[in-house]
Copies of this chain bind each other. A is one copy, B any other.
Amino acid sequence: MLKIEGIKIATINSKIKYKNRDDLLLIYLPKGTIAAGVFTQSDIVGDCIITARQNLKKGLAQALIVNAGNANVFNGKLGQESVNNINFTASDLFNCPQEHIYSFSTGVIGEVLQDKLITDKLPQMVQNLEQNDISWQKAAQAILTTDLTDKKISKEFEISGEKIKINAIAKGSGMIAPNMATMLSYIFTNINIDQKVLQQIFSQINEVSFNSITVDSDSSTSDAAMIFSTKKAQNPEINDINDPNLNIFKKNLQEIMIYLAKEIVFDGEGAQKLIEINVKNAKSEESAKKIAFAVANSPLVKTAIAGEDPNWGRILMAIGKVAEKIDPNKISIKIGDNNIVTNGIKDDSYDENKTHNYLKNKEIYIEINLNIANFNRRVWSCDFTEEYIKINKDYRS
């Protein structure tokens, strides 16, 4: 990971849930850091999300705190009290307004968060703040729950001769569905950019990355993706969405966010395969998205792919069930390079054995061409295995 001037990191074991690993992350952000974010669209959200949304109205950040193991959701008044206690303690330590503190929680719902376990650790964490490769690694690990691997990525490029850096971390791995599911992602950069422009492009890119993935169709109460910029790079401040300097930043940020989105799916609970579903030529954006997610979320499609069975009838079933007024006689489907269905009927060249062999790959591509109009949507999913069931039967034990 890159070194981004002014940022400092500490992790610790808080004993909230996990006994033998760091499960609490503190990231210090230098004065003047701006923040942008997108959050779960669930009706039932964690109090940390409510507070973060509120704080974003000012858009300044001094610290990020994340705990894993307890989501602090649905705890009545105690939930908001926990967030307040954590954010107040941090603002006191850093001598900043409480609205500059962003704290997040992920884990089990409906159990009261012992916030004292967090606030008691914060002074010690402030003493331990540093930034190096190991601290970024520890940051990526501290926010995990049932994830098998940590997820992190860096990119560096130039704007007006200035080095722009982006570091990003994320966690998955169940309850992943459109509108981000139980995922957290925190992205850090030094670009000199206006907060409103940053929020605008972050929301745009979120739609084609974190909002384009699903593991199990379940959405979380606690999803959050945020980007923080120290603004310490010396590029001329970008304060217009049409500034040509923005393009290279958008391109890199999009690559980072799609990379993390795919990593989250690949590490979906029990997943052995990453599935890319590309719906082409739908009647509208909304229609393309609905059909893509119907296929991406279909347990029968996902189990067929787990079994490496080219049971393409199930793809048709999933397309049909959303009742989006498609024309069955115009549909074409490809699995990898294999033409499966062409204009509404099994392709003459369809070779079951060849398609079965293709499905032995770790990354599967499914293209659905509706041939109605010209709206497209690409989403990612994973296969559905016995392991998913095992993990989720036993989650709390």
Contacts and interface: CB of A to CB of B under 8 A. Distances in A.
A385 B109 CA distance: 22
A390 B300 CA distance: 11
Contacts of A354: none
Interface string A278-310: 000000000000000000011110011011010
Number of copies: 2
A395 B316 contact: no
Given A316-B44, A316-B73, A298 B396 contact: no
Nearest to A307: B393
A221 B320 contact: yes
A99 interface: no
Interface string A358-397: 0000000000000000000000000011101110111111
Contacts of A306: 389, 393
A320 B43 contact: yes
A345 B43 contact: no
B74 A318 contact: no
A341 B74 contact: yes
A246 interface: no
Interface in A162-183: 174-175, 177, 179
A110 B389 contact: no
Q: Could you say which interface size class chain A belongs to?
A: 35 or more
A41 B324 CA distance: 11
Interface stretch (A185-193, A198-206, A212-220, A251-259): A212-220
A56 B175 CA distance: 43
A396 to B, nearest CB: 6
Contacts of A54: none
Contacts of A41: 323
A6 interface: no
Contacts of A396: 309, 311
B300 A109 contact: no
A270 to B, nearest CB: 9
A344 interface: yes
Interface string A71-115: 101111000000000000000000000000000000011110000
B393 A328 contact: no
A317 interface: yes
Contact of A395 (B75, B309, B384): B309
B74 A345 contact: yes
B316 A109 contact: yes
Contacts of A74: 313, 316, 328, 341, 344-346
A73 B303 CA distance: 20
A35 B341 CA distance: 35
Nearest to A215: B299
A372 to B, nearest CB: 12
Contacts of A316: 44, 73-74, 109-110, 221
A147 to B, nearest CB: 16
B317 A44 contact: yes
Contacts of A304: 392-393, 395
27 contacts: A41-B323, A42-B317, A43-B320, A43-B321, A43-B324, A43-B325, A44-B326, A71-B313, A74-B341, A75-B346, A109-B314, A109-B317, A110-B312, A111-B313, A177-B321, A179-B321, A216-B299, A219-B321, A303-B388, A303-B389, A303-B393, A307-B395, A309-B394, A309-B396, A309-B397, A384-B389, A386-B390
